[in-house]
Structure 1
Amino acid sequence: MSLTDENADEDNPYLRAPPTDFDPVDELSESAAERQAEQLREAIRDHDRRYYVENDPIIADRTYDALFARLRDLEEAFDLSHPDSPTRSVGGEPLEAFETVEHVAPMLSIDQSGEADDVREFADRVRREVGDVDYVCEPKFDGVSMEFVYEDGSLTRAVTRGDGREGDDVTRNARTIGSVPQRLHGDYPDFLAVRGEVYMPKDAFQTHNRERIERGEEPFANPRNATAGTIRQLDSSVVADRPLEVFYFDVLEASDLENSHRDELERFPEWGLRVNDRVEVVDDIEDAIEYRDRLVEIRDDLNYEIDGTVIKVDDREAREELGRTARHDRYAFAYKFPARAEITPIVDVAVQVGRTGRLTPVALLEPVDVGGVTVSRASLHNPEEIAEKNVNVGDTVRVQRAGDVIPYVEEVVEKDSEGHYELPDTCPVCGSPVERDGPMAFCTGGVACDAQLRRLIEYYAGDDGLDLEGLGEKSVRQLVDAELLESVADLYDLEREELTSLEGWGETSAENLLSEIDSSREPPLAAFLSALGIPHVGPTTARELAREFATFEAFREAAKNEPERLEGVDDVGEAVAQQLQDFFTSEANADAVDELLEHVSPQEAEFESSGDALEGLTFVFTGSLEGVTRSEAQATVEAHGANATGSVSGNTDYLVVGENPGQSKRDDAAANDVPIVGEAEFRDLLNERGIELD
């Protein structure tokens, strides 16, 4: 029985003004617990429908949370798990992979164009084949299309569109979306397969992107990318934490079909399926064109992305008569919107924290086309430039791309705010005070700030550091979030079991990473100095410092107490010498370096040339070598005139592959036609030139 029946209030106390002062769980009998759990499930489903479908909730969020928590407690205490329970929306254990399944009915594409004459031509063809018809006009959502299958009212399957014939079974993820009912309401068909569009609301997308930026993570390019990346997460608990919604817009197959599309859409809310309130029925194609033009004008006011309108023949018999091609249904046509160009409003500002603690404000934009690329964020550079341009949230701005890469706000086109944006006084990631240095602003939290820690580890492991394959942005973020890394030194305490317990890590990837880390325990001094991430000390400056001081202790002593000695080194002037002194006299930095030196022993620098037998050659190394470290092999080739770099490019002459090599460098070598040689071949190459690798 549905809770919308006349006597629902009497049958279920949790529908209207529900009590939340529950008796202790351990005082309930099993039968009483079962009864209460079933009432809570029914009530929560009804509250979900009222909230997501009707936009008319009748209880407060806090009350809803109390009902939900009580149901969860009952199910756990009495082992009352149920496939339709709302508690399944919190996610489960991560999957290893998705199963590919065939759709109930093909999910085909539709013809589309941005020209009104093409829409009229579509209508002319329809009229020739089936006569005059009514059309249903709907927004064309820019999300992820999916099939939802209900049997006897229960959700049994949710599948991505895939190639239109089959897709990925993402049912566990779909169950975590609030607007996906686990069970239908009312008088529903015994079997129902519907098509819906999963999307991320624009305001939720901007909030989510802001949080990602402030955590030091790469933001999503647009709401559709965010949705697609979320719905295919192997860990459904991640999906549950992200703000996804669904609009349902078509019946793929049902045991009891309606005569028209408009009738189907009218039944959807009765069953608990959320439909869009912008749907209209017209009897003339010119009205459909005018409908699209009206939506163009209000698209920026909608809280979901649309990129056009869909015009569908209403009558189902006419649809069947029109048929389909191999790729698209012939009863529908998409009238596309023109791309937004360069001018767009700023909806929010996020603050990104870099490796050195520098705060960079980032404008979050309504997605806009800039030179053929969709842009949803742009740099605001620094507080001084923000003040000069008088930019703030709510302003409409012109966006450009510097060197076709980095988008930036060029100017304010329409001022809709008061004043300009002000950077916060505390770090958005760790809450530490923010200090100004001329036009720049810096977080004072150091490695206690998660954003700085992640970026420092990424740099330490990157091409300009110790070149540890397998430690990119994603894996570092995962290790920090799992609290396995609270400092760079923690890399050397990682254990295989800790890694393999994480999503996406197997025995091989864990072993490869641990091997990479172990091989970095005796790095060349120059590589170690660069890896520390000291401001203005990259590989070139680090090499000059290593050449001058030979040992790490000699260098550190000079940096702390004799900065004037540093000023005579190539690439080091007064400003860089001051940066070095500031770095090593910082108590937090000193502690972090000392902790790192418990695991790492930088090697004494030896720069005497051993000849030019390898002059003009460039080597890249991956994997571990027998009898020597990779750093020693790099030092050997450099001593004989060659270059040793951390990444493969078209200028690389050889990629030397040892045990447990990384895949990315081999892929880059194949893409650039770079010869790949094993350790034996590498030693032969050196021997031919009179060089021994010890």
Structure 2
Amino acid sequence: MTNSSPRYADPDENPYVEAPPTDFDPVDELSEGAAETQAELLRAAIREHDHRYYVEADPIIDDETYDRLFTRLQRLESAFGLSTENSPTGRVGGEPLAELATVEHVAPMLSIDNGVDADAVRDFDERVRSGLAGAGFDPDERRYVCEPKFDGLSVEVVYEDGEYVRAATRGDGRVGDDVTEQVRTIRSVPGRLRGDPPDLLAVRGEAYMPRDAFAAYNEELIERGEEPFANPRNAAAGTLRQLDPEVVAERPLEVFFFDVLAWEPDTDDRAVSRPATHRDELDAFDAFGLRRNGAVELVDDVEAAIDYRDRILEERDGLNYEIDGVVIKLNDRAACEALGSTSRAPRWAFAYKFPPRTATTTIRDVTVQVGRTGRLTPVAELDPVDVGGVTVSRATLHNPAEIEALGVNVGDRVRIYRAGDVIPYVPEVVEKRSDGTYGFPEECPVCGAPVERDGPLAFCSGGLGCPAQLDRAIEHWARRDALDVEGMGPERVADLRERGLVESLPELYDLTVEDLSDLDGWGETSARNLIEELESTKRPSLGAFLAGLGIPDVGATTARALAREFGDLDRLLDADEAELRAVDDVGPEVAGSIREFLATPENRAAIEGLRERGIEPESGDVGSNDDEAADALAGLTFVFTGSLSTTRRVAEDVVEGHGGSATGSVSGNTDYLVVGENPGRSKRDDAEANDVPVIDEDEFAEVLADRGVTWPPVED
């Protein structure tokens, strides 16, 4: 890392910063050396102009002059082969991508706990005070940074040696979609940082479409006869997931940066130390040329934070970007580290949300949707109405009991409630215009099977024999936290179902390359890839198999607990409710759901059909009745990073199935960090900081072998 000017280009040294000349000599009259020198000056000047325009909102040249400089740089790079990876000309977009790859974040991108009333914020403050006191900090010294909570798409952006190298969506918080080429086109994201940044800097930002730009862009879509976006957030999310970077470059996206995910200083005497407070980190963003929001405030106590939120709420409609609340963060980083995080959210931050926006409209019809578990959800079809800047034409009525409680029917005028990403719903009838209450169907609207009531809810009794449940069951089977069948998304499932190729879950494994390669949009390569993906799932861990079945109330964690307890699919299939209730996290209701699911003939037939096709979950290696084997790894905590010879989920199942713990982040309680291929950087840094042994997969196998555990799991 080298020292550099706090600006991209010094006007005393670069002629293209202030009042730049645009009467250039012909490109073919330049020597290679002169062209290279001019290109470097133009790149630096254009970066400076981008920063002045998109970050400081204080341009010093007009658009026409900027375009002339930009065009000149393009011509020089093309004529002399001078293109560089992070040249400003890269913002026009590169070649289309075949698909979005996934990448592991350098550090987890956690959610934030939230609430909509002041008491929830005060409760958060009390938890912070208590935690600080317990950690040896003076709770009276706490201060909070308050900032708007943007309603866009969260992204991780990574710089190495000051150069832009990668960007990814949040995804599940650990792994996101690689949108490097898409984000490269956003002019408020610098391709090179200013000043003296650390060797590695990973920052979290929010990609969004400004309100005025969104309105103008929608007008263009309408004029072209295309469907407009429903709201700026959808516009931002849809744009970043475009496979063609040129399309992204044409759309008016911006980014605000608001958090540091990783900061790795240099190792020489000029090391750049990470600031001690969140507010100072934001000031460092200014020095690096990273655009941040100007409405950030540092306050002395929780009441001032509450006042800040109230002021921002009043100013909300005058902002040129969507927000749905404010975020309150403890300022001192050492205090934040002492408080730590739960598995999903930091204990030192809280989102104080704005009240939801509401509107009134009329119900024109009610449709009933059938979910993956067979649950029937009534949906009100509405006269379209604007709710907080979003056109809403459908709203959930939740369940039959809610319909009865509201006394709602077609023709009634109702209030619509929408908050953030929450599905709009009907909280009340404001004008009764119909006779009686909507009559809930007694038969499944998809398969005709009888509808069963379970308290306030209604379910189709058809199980996996119901087409609507089957579509979603296949999607669930293929999910990353289940069998992880790459290439089996909702569109592919719908395609296979519409063509009659898959009439049951087991029939997925009857597919052949020949079946698929002749279909429109497939081809032999994609067909072969999917068949190979399916073949690779024929020996799943028992936990993954159970998670993939989509048993009501059974997620990945409960599925692993069941696998640990029973260790064998047949034992689980024969278990009664009392045996199920003995499993951690399985109460009477969940035990009943499991028993009912496994006893339903259609579901049992699907399980047997899978086994007949060679899908046999691993038994014995994950979960065991042998007390000695079950406790072989007791007291040990493992963290995994990078790609192993099998999926990370299998590794976690093996560890937990033998009494150990598998966590997502490294701490002082971690015993081993297991590093596979292409590992993330942050976990290794955390391991070094906490003196945690770092081992590869072979060494991991040795650790397990010393305790009588086989790795990789042995297939029967």
> Normalising by structure 2, what TM-score?
0.49
Quickly say closer, same or farther: Cα 1:284–1:62, change in 2 above 3 A: same
Q: Distance in 1 between matches of 2:249 and 2:9?
A: 34
Quickly say closer, same or farther: Cα 1:323–1:511, change in 2 above 3 A: closer
Counterpart residue type for residue 94 of structure 2: G
Q: State how 1:331-370 maps to structure 2 within 5 Å.
A: 331-342=348-359, 367-368=389-390
Q: Distance in 1 between matches of 2:352 and 2:343?
A: 21
Quickly say closer, same or farther: Cα 1:144–1:400, change in 2 above 3 A: closer
Of the three residues 213, 216, 227, the one matched with 1:218 is 227
Contact 1:98 1:170 in 2 (8 A): yes
Q: 2:146 aligns to what SS in structure 1?
A: strand
Contact 1:323 1:330 in 2 (8 A): yes
Contact 1:199 1:246 in 2 (8 A): yes
Q: Distance in 2 between matches of 1:400 and 1:338?
A: 13
> What is the CA-CA distance between 1:11 and the residue it aligns to?
2.0
Counterpart residue type for residue 195 of structure 2: G
Q: Distance in 2 between matches of 1:8 and 1:333?
A: 41
Q: Distance in 1 between matches of 2:314 and 2:360?
A: 15
Which residue of the partner structure matches residue 69 of structure 1?
Answer: 71
> What is the CA-CA distance between 1:210 and the residue it aligns to?
2.0
Q: Distance in 1 between matches of 2:394 and 2:124?
A: 28
> Normalising by structure 1, what TM-score?
0.51
> What is the CA-CA distance between 1:371 and the residue it aligns to?
8.6
Q: Distance in 2 between matches of 1:287 and 1:43?
A: 42
Q: Distance in 2 between matches of 1:296 and 1:165?
A: 32
- Residue segments in structure 1 that go unaligned for 5+ positions in a row: 345-361, 375-397, 406-473, 475-505, 513-669, 671-694
Which residue of the partner structure matches residue 281 of structure 2?
Answer: 264
Q: 1:121 aligns to what SS in structure 2?
A: helix
Which residue of the partner structure matches residue 10 of structure 2?
Answer: 8
Q: 1:11 aligns to what SS in structure 2?
A: coil
Contact 2:340 2:348 in 1 (8 A): yes
> What is the CA-CA distance between 1:237 and the residue it aligns to?
0.5
> What is the CA-CA distance between 1:2 and the residue it aligns to?
4.8
> What is the CA-CA distance between 1:28 and the residue it aligns to?
0.5
Contact 1:141 1:306 in 2 (8 A): yes
Q: Distance in 1 between matches of 2:231 and 2:166?
A: 27
Q: 2:164 aligns to what SS in structure 1?
A: strand
Counterpart residue type for residue 348 of structure 2: Y
Q: Which has the larger radius of gyration?
A: 1
Residue 171 (structure 2) pairs with residue 166 (structure 1): no
Of the three residues 259, 262, 267, the one matched with 1:250 is 259
Q: Distance in 1 between matches of 2:222 and 2:286?
A: 37
Of the three residues 318, 322, 327, the one matched with 2:344 is 327
Contact 1:3 1:42 in 2 (8 A): no
Which residue of the partner structure matches residue 520 of structure 2?
Answer: 509
Contact 2:158 2:203 in 1 (8 A): yes
Quickly say closer, same or farther: Cα 1:111–1:6, change in 2 above 3 A: closer
Q: Distance in 2 between matches of 1:106 and 1:226?
A: 25
Which residue of the partner structure matches residue 324 of structure 2?
Answer: 307
Q: Distance in 2 between matches of 1:119 and 1:372?
A: 32
Q: Distance in 2 between matches of 1:151 and 1:511?
A: 38
Which residue of the partner structure matches residue 149 of structure 2?
Answer: 140
Q: State how 1:109-188 maps to structure 2 within 5 Å.
A: 109-130=111-132, 131-132=139-140, 133-188=142-197
Quickly say closer, same or farther: Cα 1:318–1:47, change in 2 above 3 A: same
Quickly say closer, same or farther: Cα 1:42–1:7, change in 2 above 3 A: closer
Quickly say closer, same or farther: Cα 1:369–1:291, change in 2 above 3 A: farther
Q: 1:276 aligns to what SS in structure 2?
A: coil
Deviations 1:371-392 (A, max 9, x none): 9859xxxxxxxxxxxxxxxxxx
Contact 1:134 1:314 in 2 (8 A): yes
Q: Distance in 2 between matches of 1:7 and 1:295?
A: 36
Contact 2:359 2:385 in 1 (8 A): no
> What is the CA-CA distance between 1:3 and the residue it aligns to?
5.6
Counterpart residue type for residue 218 of structure 1: E
Q: State how 1:49-88 maps to structure 2 within 5 Å.
A: 49-88=51-90
Quickly say closer, same or farther: Cα 1:84–1:215, change in 2 above 3 A: same
Quickly say closer, same or farther: Cα 1:73–1:278, change in 2 above 3 A: same
Deviations 1:539-566 (A, max 9, x none): xxxxxxxxxxxxxxxxxxxxxxxxxxxx
Q: 2:166 aligns to what SS in structure 1?
A: strand
Deviations 1:628-664 (A, max 9, x none): xxxxxxxxxxxxxxxxxxxxxxxxxxxxxxxxxxxxx
Quickly say closer, same or farther: Cα 1:85–1:364, change in 2 above 3 A: farther
Quickly say closer, same or farther: Cα 1:313–1:33, change in 2 above 3 A: same
Deviations 1:250-275 (A, max 9, x none): 01110231100000001111111011
Counterpart residue type for residue 13 of structure 1: P
Residue 245 (structure 2) pairs with residue 208 (structure 1): no
> What is the CA-CA distance between 1:99 and the residue it aligns to?
1.5
Q: Identity across aligned pairs (percent)?
A: 62
Q: State how 1:295-694 maps to structure 2 within 5 Å.
A: 295-342=312-359, 367-368=389-390, 508-509=519-520
Contact 1:160 1:167 in 2 (8 A): yes
> What is the CA-CA distance between 1:41 and the residue it aligns to?
0.5
Contact 2:278 2:331 in 1 (8 A): yes
Q: 2:348 aligns to what SS in structure 1?
A: strand
> What is the CA-CA distance between 1:511 and the residue it aligns to?
9.4
Which residue of the partner structure matches residue 465 of structure 1?
Answer: none
Contact 1:148 1:195 in 2 (8 A): yes
Q: 1:8 aligns to what SS in structure 2?
A: coil
Which residue of the partner structure matches residue 30 of structure 2?
Answer: 28
Which residue of the partner structure matches residue 695 of structure 2?
Answer: none
